[in-house]
């Protein structure tokens, strides 16, 4: 049998548990198809799943990470339309992209836009809809609003800033260093606050003349998340899309009532299902034209996967990091 490379996690742990193994190239079963992987993005859920920090859609170990990837369909199983064979596709929400070949179901596959290269194809499918739906579907950002974006030097934060700015909003980015502040401003934020240097909630209030932000997008969480409720404006919305910094403290309902703001959870797939992917027309057009830029800042070989997980968790990566698997097929 022909062999391939695959990153395997046998049991949860730190990045050192990520091992490259030689495996037989899998054969798709009924209802499945096989993708020859071109590039795979480093998605935050890859790090969470590796460390068993996530329960939603958590994989069963042992497993191969790679939650977001693109490639060419090269084989289909029984019951799958054979016209899938040869298509350029992006897989979103299925594990297995940290390997030369991945077996998936068609449910979460999207055909790659003709004008997208393989690198953009590998990461637009989560970053793009997440940013678009947070701005438009959840917070309903409008001209004159102020929005606060946590992790503004990451790919979701940078794209969210650009989309919100296009709506006419003032964008305040939160970051963890002076270097990341410079990056966030270059990526679309009007203001960037080093959250380690100042009380960022006080700084948001200063920048908004005491009013606060109409929307706060937070994928960090942790104990610091309580500052969101100080920085949010009355009638505003705090949107949680993750908790990279740890569990989020319980919300005091009396505080919600007293300030009349909302706290919302976010998973992109529910919004995509609700709109039947209608956002793709706007999203793809703006990414194609370059009006919005999805910041791909680093491309590494698959054998660097453990090192990149480590750097990501130390918050030393900017934008999106990709792994080159098969490359430009």
H-run or E-run covering 103: strand 101-104
As a whole-number percent, the residues of the chain with pLDDT over 90 amount to 89
Q: Tell me: the pLDDT tens digits for 203-257? A: 999 999 999 999 999 999 888 899 999 999 999 999 999 888 888 888 999 999 9
Question: Which of 58-72, 236-250, 289-303 is the least confident region?
Answer: 236-250
Contact in structure between 106 and 84 (CB atoms under 8 Å):
yes
CB 326: neighbour CB atoms within 10 A?
18
| Inter-axis angle of helices 280-289 and 124-133, nearest 10 | 110
* CATH superfamily of domain region 126-271: NAD(P)-binding Rossmann-like Domain (3.40.50.720)
Domain ranges of the chain: 3-123+294-324, 126-271
Residue 56, pLDDT above cutoff 80:
no
| Inter-axis angle of helices 124-133 and 155-166, nearest 10 | 40
By the 10 Å C-beta count (0-12 exposed, 13-18 middle, 19+ buried), 328 is classed as exposed
> 3-123+294-324, what's its fold?
Quinone Oxidoreductase; Chain A, domain 1 (3.90.180)
> What is the mean predicted confidence (pLDDT) over 285-289?
94
pLDDT at 325: 98
Which ranges of the chain does DSSP label H, i.e. alpha helix?
44-50, 118-121, 124-133, 155-166, 178-187, 200-207, 228-231, 253-259, 268-275, 280-289, 305-313
As a whole-number percent, the residues of the chain with pLDDT over 70 amount to 100
- Distance CA(46)–CA(53), nearest Å, equals 10
- Distance CA(205)–CA(248), nearest Å, equals 22
Q: Tell me: the pLDDT tens digits for 121-173? A: 999 999 999 999 999 999 999 999 999 999 999 999 999 999 999 999 999 99
pTM to 2 decimal places: 0.91
Mean confidence (pLDDT) of the chain:
95
């Amino acid at each position: 049998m022909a062999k391939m490379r695959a990153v395997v996690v046998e049991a949860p742990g730190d990045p050192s548990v990520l091992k490259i193994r030689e495996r037989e190239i899998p054969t798709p079963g009924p209802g499945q198809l096989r993708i020859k992987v071109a590039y795979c993005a480093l998605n935050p859920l890859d790090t969470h799943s590796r460390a068993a920090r996530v329960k939603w859609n958590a994989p069963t170990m042992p497993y191969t990470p790679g939650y977001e990837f693109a490639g060419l369909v090269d084989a289909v199983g029984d019951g799958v339309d054979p016209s899938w064979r040869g298509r350029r596709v992006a897989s979103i929400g299925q594990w297995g992209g940290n390997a030369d070949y991945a077996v998936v179901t068609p449910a979460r596959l999207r055909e790659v836009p003709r004008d997208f290269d393989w690198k953009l194809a590998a990461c637009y499918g989560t970053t793009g809809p997440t940013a678009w739906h947070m701005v438009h579907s959840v917070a309903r950002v409008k001209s004159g609003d102020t929005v606060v974006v946590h992790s503004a030097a990451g790919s979701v934060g940078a794209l969210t800033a650009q989309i919100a700015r296009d709506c006419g909003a003032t964008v305040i980015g939160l970051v963890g260093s002076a270097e990341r502040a410079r990056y966030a401003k270059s990526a679309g934020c009007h203001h960037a606050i080093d959250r380690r240097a100042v009380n960022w909630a006080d700084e948001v209030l200063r920048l908004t003349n005491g009013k606060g932000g109409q929307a706060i997008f937070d994928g960090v969480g942790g104990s610091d998340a309580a500052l969101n409720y100080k920085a949010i404006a009355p009638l505003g919305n705090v949107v949680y899309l993750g908790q990279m910094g740890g569990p989020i403290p319980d919300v005091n309902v009396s505080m919600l009532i007293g300030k009349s703001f909302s706290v919302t959870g976010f998973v992109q797939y529910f919004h995509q299902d609700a709109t039947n992917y209608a956002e793709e027309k706007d999203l793809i057009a703006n990414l194609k034209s370059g009006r919005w830029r999805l910041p791909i800042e680093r491309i590494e070989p698959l054998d660097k996967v453990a090192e990149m997980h480590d750097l990501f968790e130390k918050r030393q990566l900017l934008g999106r990091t990709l792994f080159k698997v098969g490359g430009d097929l």
